[in-house]
């Protein structure tokens, strides 16, 4: 069949015609592909660039380019399964293999190439180099560009953390590229944890490298381009606190956090407090993650749901939850007695029912209506407390305050109608994300999140109407980390 297409009168146009003529023939021989890969059958293009570069140019764009690319990838896949790295066909096998694998990396057709390239990897016969470039490095690049799923995620993450693959090798930057090049079906979310862990590991490896800020910033920007939308950068916002990123890397990331709802300012101030020394970094990071989650919820509720699930998993990893709850509510109920209250567990006639009676000095028994004020900035923790207290203390009602600023605003109401008991988290965020975040007083800026509960207690003690309210101040901080003036 005669090819009647019109091609540009350029070298690239000649190669496009050559590819179309060859790919239109149903019967072909491996030697024909080999001659293309070493440049023997290409127009005279000179030695300045490798043949694969000209082949990629000849593939072109648009519908014709897509057709050429798919047909060429199919033939390359067949050729790879003939084990050319073991048989070494042709007079210049290293050049042929280098251009073969480089062409695969440029084509990016996982349907035609992913399985074939992985079979080449499993054979472990590839060796040698071309023009100073190890052929295994080209295989790694080809595999990264043609991933059909996320099965190689552990390989790329280990590579990003500084552990090369035993056959493919690889630097942390190449591992990071491998993560970003993994396919993402429409129904799946980005590999958020792997991206965050990789960035943290790379930041630590760059600590003494000149120009580290520019290099690291470019990695964050590449990840943001790979996964558009707010989810990635919001997820990364709390990652430096969980994984102890170097201060300079955390500051680079903070500049990319959205300014809406005061989130960027919050992250920067949290960083200042973190650098002063935090006794329980995981818990501090969870408070940061709570603020980030609430800020994202104002913008994208579906993405915020993803972050919430990640935060639940992180809490379990930190040992701050057991089963479906945190155990915090049970701890509070058990420690009511520490304020001279009474907690009695009485058997009943029902097989699976236990009656619980508790009392707090100077107030009604828990059997009657009683109000308990919970000051807890984590919505997950607040809900655990409410469920644990209300389900185990009949008649109890738990009212909720979320932040330190909300507590200060509510002080007149608390004084007018004192609760029977206040359950106070020591670590509290100043305010929820909002376009109009209240200004932080000087003592809040100086003390930060970690002293918020104590500041609230001091304000309660300063007023006669509230000084007698029993308060259970709970925290994971050690005694040595809490300083009371």
H or E segment and range at residue 473:
strand 471-474
pLDDT in tens, the chain (485 residues): 566 788 888 999 999 999 999 999 999 999 999 999 999 999 987 788 999 999 999 999 999 999 999 999 999 999 999 999 999 988 899 999 999 999 999 999 999 999 999 999 999 999 999 999 999 999 999 999 999 999 999 999 999 999 999 999 999 999 999 999 999 887 788 899 999 999 999 999 999 999 999 999 999 999 999 988 889 999 999 999 999 999 999 999 999 999 888 899 999 999 998 988 877 788 888 889 988 998 898 888 888 888 888 888 887 776 655 444 444 444 444 444 444 554 444 444 544 444 444 455 544 444 456 899 999 988 888 888 888 888 888 888 899 998 999 999 999 999 999 999 999 888 888 988 888 888 888 888 888 888 888 899 999 999 999 999 999 888 765 555 555 44
The single residue listed with the structure tokens 């003494």 is 208
Instruction: Count CA atoms within 13 Å of residue 435 on its CB side.
Output: 2
Output the pTM of the full model.
0.78
H or E segment and range at residue 459:
helix 452-461
pLDDT at 314: 81
Query: How would DSSP label each residue in 133-176?
Result: EEHHHHHHHHHHHT-SSSTTHHHHHHHHTT--BTTTB--HHHHH
φ/ψ of residue 109, rounded to 5: -130, 80
* Structural domain 328-481, CATH architecture: 3-Layer(aba) Sandwich (3.40)
Tokens encoding 233: 């950068």
The single residue listed with the structure tokens 């293009």 is 45
pLDDT at 389: 86
So where are the chain's domains?
Answer: 1-148, 150-320, 328-481
The residues pairing with 365 across neighbouring beta strands, listed in sequence order, are 359
Note whether 430 and 404 are within 8 A (CB). yes
The single residue listed with the structure tokens 């935090």 is 278
pLDDT at 311: 83
pLDDT at 319: 65
pLDDT at 203: 96
Give the whole-angstrom CA distance, residue 64 versus residue 382. Answer: 59
Give the whole-angstrom CA distance, residue 70 versus residue 57. Answer: 15
Tokens encoding 321: 């939850």
Give the angle 262-267-272 at the CA atoms, nearest 5°. 125
Greatest CA separation for the chain = 101
């Amino acid at each position: 069949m005669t090819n009647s297409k019109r091609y540009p009168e350029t070298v690239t146009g000649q190669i496009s015609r050559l590819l179309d003529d060859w790919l239109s023939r149903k019967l072909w021989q491996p030697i024909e592909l080999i001659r293309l890969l070493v440049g023997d059958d290409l127009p005279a293009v000179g030695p300045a660039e490798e043949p694969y570069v000209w082949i990629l140019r000849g593939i072109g764009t648009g519908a014709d380019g897509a057709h050429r690319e798919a047909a060429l990838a199919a033939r390359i896949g067949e050729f790879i399964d003939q084990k050319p790295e073991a048989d070494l066909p042709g007079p210049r096998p290293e050049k042929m293999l280098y251009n073969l694998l480089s062409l695969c990396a440029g084509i990016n057709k996982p349907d035609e190439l992913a399985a074939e390239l992985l079979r080449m990897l499993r054979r472990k016969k590839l060796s040698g180099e071309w023009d100073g470039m190890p052929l295994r490095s080209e295989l790694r690049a080809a595999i990264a560009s043609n991933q059909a799923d996320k099965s190689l995620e552990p390989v790329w993450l280990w590579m990003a953390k500084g552990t090369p693959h035993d056959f493919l090798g690889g630097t942390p930057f190449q591992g990071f590229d491998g993560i970003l090049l993994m396919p993402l079906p429409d129904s799946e979310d980005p590999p958020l944890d792997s991206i965050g862990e990789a960035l943290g590991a790379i930041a630590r490896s760059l600590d003494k490298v000149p120009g580290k800020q520019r290099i690291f910033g470019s990695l964050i920007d590449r990840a943001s381009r790979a996964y558009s939308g707010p989810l990635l950068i919001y997820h990364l916002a709390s990652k430096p606190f969980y994984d102890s990123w170097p201060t300079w890397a955390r500051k680079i990331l903070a500049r990319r956090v959205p300014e809406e709802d005061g989130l960027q300012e919050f992250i920067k101030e949290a960083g200042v407090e973190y650098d002063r020394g935090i006794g329980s970094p995981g818990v501090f990071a969870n408070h940061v993650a709570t603020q980030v989650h609430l800020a994202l919820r104002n913008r994208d509720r579906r993405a915020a749901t993803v972050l919430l699930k990640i935060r639940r998993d992180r809490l379990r990893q930190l040992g701050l939850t057991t089963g479906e709850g945190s155990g915090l509510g049970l701890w509070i109920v058990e420690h009511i007695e520490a304020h001279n209250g009474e907690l009695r567990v009485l058997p009943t006639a029902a097989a699976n029912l236990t009656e619980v009676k508790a009392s707090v000095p100077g107030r009604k028994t828990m059997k009657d209506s009683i109000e308990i004020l919970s000051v807890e900035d984590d919505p997950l923790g607040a809900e655990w407390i409410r469920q644990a207290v209300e389900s185990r203390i009949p008649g109890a009602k738990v009212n909720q305050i979320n932040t330190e600023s909300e507590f200060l605003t509510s002080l007149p109401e608390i004084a007018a109608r004192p609760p029977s008991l206040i359950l106070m988290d020591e670590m509290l965020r100043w305010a929820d994300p909002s376009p109009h975040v209240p200004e932080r007083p000087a003592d809040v800026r100086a003390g930060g999140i970690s002293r918020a509960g104590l500041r609230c207690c001091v304000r309660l003690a300063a007023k006669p109407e509230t000084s007698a309210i029993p308060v259970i101040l709970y925290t994971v901080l050690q005694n040595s980390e809490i300083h009371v003036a």
